[in-house]
Structures are given as C-alpha cells and as structure tokens.
Amino acid sequence: MPTKYIFFTGGVVSSVGKGVTAAATGLLLKSRGFKVTVQKLDPYINVDPGTMSPYQHGEVYVLDDGAETDLDLGHYERFVDIRLGRFSNFTTGQVYAEVIAKERHGDYLGGTIQVIPHITNEIKRRIGLVAKETGAEVVILEIGGTVGDIESQPFLEALRQLRNEVGRENTFFVHVTWLPYIGATQELKTKPTQHSVAALRSIGISPNMIIARSDYPVEDGLCDKIALFCDVDKRAVVPMVTSQVLYEVPLLLEEAGVGDYLVERLGLKASIKPDWGPWKRLVEQVKKEKPKVRIAIVGKYVELKDAYMSVREAIAHAALSLGLEADIQWVLSSDLEKGKGWELVKSADGIIVPGGFGSRGIEGKIQTAKYAREEKIPYLGLCLGMQVMCVEFARDVLGYEDANSTEFDRSTAHPVIDLMLEQRAITDMGGTMRLGLCPCVLQPGTKAAAAYGEKLVEERHRHRWEFNNAYKEEFEEAGMTFSGISPDGLLVEIAELKDHPYMVGSQFHPEFLSRPMRPHPLFVGLLKAAGEKAGFKEEK
Ligand code: GLN
C-alpha cells in the first residue's frame, strides 16, 4: 500500500486550531488501526524555534532525539500518543541552510539555484524522509501559517508537485478556515472561506475537505453554500463549533464522519473499529464539576499562556486522573520582586516554577521556592525551577547568601548551579544545549521513586546548567535528597526535600511526556499533595 498523505492548510486567519485538528485527525486514523505519523512544516526563516522568544512562538517542544520544535508537535504527541523525531518538523530556514550548504560544496555543478526546483525538491525530500523513517501508512502534514503568506508559497508548490508524483489518490487536502460572525445581522459569513479557497486554487490546489471553525452553531444551509462555492463534496464540509474541551475535538470530528470519509476517499482498509470509550470518559470527566485545587505557575512569560502549553496540559492530565480540577493562577515572577502578586502564591495549594532562561524575574522565583519550603506548600520545579530550589536552599539553609547559578551571577563564590565543562566553550546559541532523552536512576525510598514506581526512567532535557556536585554532600546533610541521578552518577536529575510534603525539582522537563490518559508521575505527585493540602481525599 503506498503511503497516504493528508495535508492541512489554514485559511482566513491563524489560531483557528489547525494543529489540534490535524492531531485529532491523526487519532481518528490511528484508532482505525493505521500507523500514523505527523509532520509540521513551518514557513518562517528561523532554523528552529529553539532560539525564538516564547513571546513570539510559545513553548519550544522538545522531542526524544533533542529536536527543538513547534508546540503543535506537543498536540500531535498528546492526541495520537506517538513519539516523534527530528524529521517531524522543519522550517524554511532548515531547507535553505541545506540547499546553500550543498551549493557551497559544489553539489549543483554550477547550476543556477532556484526556488523551483531546488527548494521545492528539498521540501519534498524532507517530507519523504519522515515517511521512510517512521514506516507510517498515513502521514498527516500541517503547513504553518495561512494560505496567502509569502513564506508558505514554496511549501504549497512542493505539495502540489508531490500530489502528482505520489498520485492524487494518495493525497488529501484539508483546508481549515474560520467563519466570522457579524453581530449586527447575527449571521456567520462564508466569504473569507471562499476567498482563501480561491487563493489556494490559484496555486493549483483544490481542497478535498473544508473544516470551518466557528464560535456559533453552523446551519446546514451554510455548509451547502460552502460546498457549492468552494467545489467541495457536501459530506466534506465540516463545521467545527469551538469546544471548551480540547480533547473533545477527535470526538466531534468522528461524529462529523471525518474518519470514515478519509478512509473511503484514500482507499484505505481499516483493520479495527475505533473504540472511543476512553476518550468519551475523559471528556465526561473534564466536563464534570470537580473539587478545585489552586496551582500557581510562577514564570517569566505568563502573559502568553502558550509559552507553558505542555505544563498546563500536564497539570490538567494529572488533576483529571485524581478527579480534581486545577485552577491555574498565573504569576509573573518579576512582579513578586516588587511585592506584587503574592496573594496568588499564598492562596495556592501547589506551586510550579517552570523552565526559563535569563535573569529577569529570577529572584522572584527564588523567593517563591523559599516560601514553598518554609510554608510546606507542594512545589514542583521544572528545570530552572529545580535550579532555583537549589539556589534558595544554599542561601537560606546552608547560609551561603550569595549562592547562585552562574547563569545569573558569573562571579558568585557559591556556584551551586554551574556550567558543565563541555558547555563552557560554546558560543553558538542554537541547538547547543543538553537536549532530548537522558536516563535517570531513581533512588529507592524517595518521593520521586514512589511517584514513578520504577527504577530507571528516561526524560527529555533542554538546558545548559547543572547542579554542582561539589555541594552535594552539604546539601544532603542539610536535608535535600538527590532522588534521581544519571546512571554514571555524575548528574543530578531530581532533587527533593526530606522534611516537606512534596518539594521536588527535576533537571528535565517531565511535562513533555505527560499524556491525557497517562499523566506524568511527578505532576500526579504534585496534584495529590496539593489536593491533600486543600483538604480533598482522592476520589476514585
Ligand atoms: N536556563 C537554565 C539552563 O540553561 C534552565 C533551562 C530550562 O529551564 N529549560 O540550564
């Protein structure tokens, strides 16, 4: 059976949930027994999102192999429950870097290098790679941005060529659009959808399905109109009314017949009937009234919630598994330094200090760790959150007042968090951190070991600095336990406080491996402790 390709393009406006729709479609096919993979093509010129500001791009999602990718890959992994790799996401920057390197190397034998065919060939090569590497029967492919953007043109052209090369019967184009609502006349409008389909057609692509997002119910007549004006089968016009529950999207698409339609149109043969029982129960659980626990996220980029997408999802997964609802309080750590926002921290049942870079707001995070330690508030530190927990401990328990990470104070006399030797010589910022999956041995009898119920785990990393082993003994004598260590014994992976209900910090990012049906143990540990603090017993 040839590989089948389902392409997702966006029309009208961005942020209409194209990534979630693509991810949910992946699940529709996986639940019919197909081997599915998902790839995101990002038309911006950065080589990867690793060096982009979270304000620009939201969270950087890290994969097993250390690729720093777009946050949509988090949706793919969470919905389809797969593990993706570095071929699953590429940008214009990567494509050009490759082509230019080949040109410098003389590989083109003096030919003139052009968008067509050199750039489009490289795009197609990378699409082919993901199918080959994963052996997927169905490749779901999302193009970032909106049709009409200058940057996305070579990508769309490459898809048009690919369609002819692999055969029309093996490709399917889904265009995700938006139906604006006009308040004065109280109606939804299809015109922008028509225009964006026209733009897509002008580059030679006719969509096979239109998924029209809307905040209001979409009448049947409107779907007829879209079908007629956009030349799409009526069954392939899918209205998607905004759902409050993210994980309901696959169920809504299934109900709209998207799964069966794709199987039919791509000539696939489903080996199993989808069982939506677990997803339905999950969605019911989300919609149910549940006891609330307040979790404060003390971070640097809290104004943009997308910057902590996976952290937010991991909290939700853990809370759901315990029959709780997490009420997230967003706290800007630099506000805490000015004495603002403390009421949010003080009213929280649990605190998370997530990952981050750079010194802004760092003292606010250290003060938060102090508060959590002294007041015995459940605390989970993620990467930087673990580092500040150690800095605070060194300052206030060991009495090293100027203790710090050398990221924030190069000349501190007590560098309890320091650069690894091999990181010191690095001057390039992109892709030079300790990245991706690394093993961690759990120390028996610790909170972390109890949470995982395992001896050896592998977690995803993205950082430069490490706990400085010169201080290990002193920390241990004063009540900190290093409950997760790299197998060679050299790197601290998890630190926790002995005399505390739950103060745990991990040098890795557990949030990237949390799944709706398989919440991450360290987050479950935090939510359990927070639930107990709030006075709730586990409801199951
Ligand atoms: N800035 C810290 C480091 O590089 C923490 C990184 C993070 O939180 N992801 O080690």
**Which atom number of ligand 1 is nearest to the Cα of residue 433?**
4
Please state which of the ranges 51-65, 134-148, 295-309, 496-510 shows the lowest mean pLDDT: 51-65
Segment 216-224 mean pLDDT: 94
Residue whose C-alpha is closest to residue 419's, from 431, 404, 437: 404
Nearest CA to ligand 1 atom 8: 355
Nearest CA to ligand 1 atom 6: 463
| Mean pLDDT estimate for the chain | 94
Nearest CA to ligand 1 atom 3: 463
Segment 235-246 mean pLDDT: 93
pLDDT of residue 172: 98
Residue whose C-alpha is closest to residue 192's, from 184, 183, 181: 181
**Which atom number of ligand 1 is nearest to the Cα of residue 466?**
10
pLDDT reading at 136 higher than 80: yes
How sure is the predictor about 431, in pLDDT bands with cuts at 50, 70 and 90? Answer: low
68 tagged catalytic = no
The pLDDT tens digits of the residues spanning 157-214 come to 999 999 999 999 999 999 999 999 999 999 999 999 999 999 999 999 999 999 999 9
Q: What are the phi and psi torsion angles at 114 (to 5°)?
A: -130, 165
| Angle, in degrees to the nearest 10, between helices 220-230 and 191-202 | 20
Nearest CA to ligand 1 atom 1: 357
pLDDT of residue 429: 60
CA–centroid distance for 118 within its chain: 31
511 tagged catalytic = yes
Taking the CA atoms of 211, 217, 220 and 225 in sequence, report the sign of the dihedral they define: negative
Residue whose C-alpha is closest to residue 210's, from 421, 200, 441: 200
Segment 39-59 mean pLDDT: 86
Catalytic choice (57, 75, 175, 509): 509
CA–centroid distance for 218 within its chain: 30
| Structure tokens belonging to residue 371 | 């508060």
pLDDT reading at 314 higher than 60: yes
Residue 318: what residue type?
Answer: A
pLDDT reading at 409 higher than 60: yes
pLDDT of residue 282: 95
Between CA 504 and CA 497 the distance in angstroms is 7
Superfamily of domain 4-281: P-loop containing nucleotide triphosphate hydrolases (3.40.50.300)
Catalytic choice (383, 390, 438, 440): 383
Other beta carbons less than 10 A from residue 290's beta carbon: 17
Please state which of the ranges 55-59, 141-145, 244-248, 396-400 shows the lowest mean pLDDT: 55-59
How sure is the predictor about 538, in pLDDT bands with cuts at 50, 70 and 90? Answer: low
**DSSP codes joined into one string, 230-261:** HT--GGGEEEEE--S-GGGHHHHHHHTTHHHH
Residue to substitute in 420, 438, 463, 511 for testing ligand 1 pocket (most ligand atoms within 8 angstroms of CB): 463
Please state which of the ranges 8-12, 34-38, 535-539 shows the lowest mean pLDDT: 535-539
- Assess if CATH 3.40.50.880 describes domain 291-533: yes
Segment 441-468 mean pLDDT: 96
pLDDT of residue 202: 94
Catalytic choice (122, 137, 248, 511): 511
Strand partners, 111: none
Whether 93 and 44 have beta carbons less than 8 Å apart is answered as: yes
For the chain, the domains span 4-281, 291-533
Residues in contact with ligand 1 by the CB-under-6-Å rule are 355-357, 383-384, 407, 462-465
pLDDT reading at 272 higher than 60: yes
Q: How far is the CA of 465 from the centre of ligand 1 (A)?
A: 6
509 tagged catalytic = yes
Whether 213 and 220 have beta carbons less than 8 Å apart is answered as: no
Between CA 14 and CA 306 the distance in angstroms is 14
pLDDT of residue 540: 45
pLDDT reading at 391 higher than 80: yes
Between CA 193 and CA 450 the distance in angstroms is 53
Segment 246-252 mean pLDDT: 95
pLDDT reading at 537 higher than 80: no
Between CA 424 and CA 69 the distance in angstroms is 25
Same fold, 4-281 and 291-533: yes
